[in-house]
Amino acid sequence: MPYKYKYKLPDQFLRITKDFDEFKDGAMIATVELINKQKYKILILMYTDIIGVKNHDHLPFDVNDIIQVYQTEEDKNPKDIKEWNMFQKAK
């Protein structure tokens, strides 16, 4: 049975994330920009599941507020993800 996570990127971003660089087995880091211009580093699994946000133990925004998803050079080549807290899978 596949894992199910609570948070997913809106479908319109799938065509973008499918071309993102993975740093490990289906996991990738990306930057999201919100309607209010805030930016967050997110950890994505399999192009769509948001499983972590840098320096947060919960999702600090509504996924429907995302207006842009992209990868920076730092996102493509993360040095360390120790400060990342992974979210719990949905039950």
Give the span between the Cα atoms of 31 and 58, in whole angstroms. 16
86 lies in some domain? no
Give the contacts of 30 (CB within 8 A, at least 6 positions apart). Answer: 17, 20, 41, 42, 44, 69, 70, 71, 75
In a domain, 2, yes or no: no
Q: Is the pLDDT of residue 90 over 70?
A: no
Q: Which two tokens stand for residue 24?
A: 């490990």
Of the pLDDT bands very low, low, confident and very high (cuts 50, 70, 90), residue 2 is low
Q: In terms of residue numbers, what domain contains 66?
A: 7-76
pLDDT, tens digit (0-9, with 9 covering 90-100), for 34-85: 999 999 999 998 889 999 999 888 899 999 999 999 999 999 988 877 777 7
pLDDT at 11: 93
pLDDT digits (tens, 9 = 90+) for 8-43: 999 999 999 999 999 888 899 999 999 999 999 999
In a domain, 54, yes or no: yes
* Residue 55, both tokens: 């320096």
Read off φ and ψ for residue 48, nearest 5 degrees: -140, -30
Per the structure, the count of domains in the chain is 1
Whether 83 is covered by a domain: the verdict is no
- Is 49 part of a structural domain of the chain? yes
| Residue 43 resides in a domain | yes
Full-model pTM = 0.88
Specify if 62 maps to a domain.
yes
Residue 82 lies in a domain: no
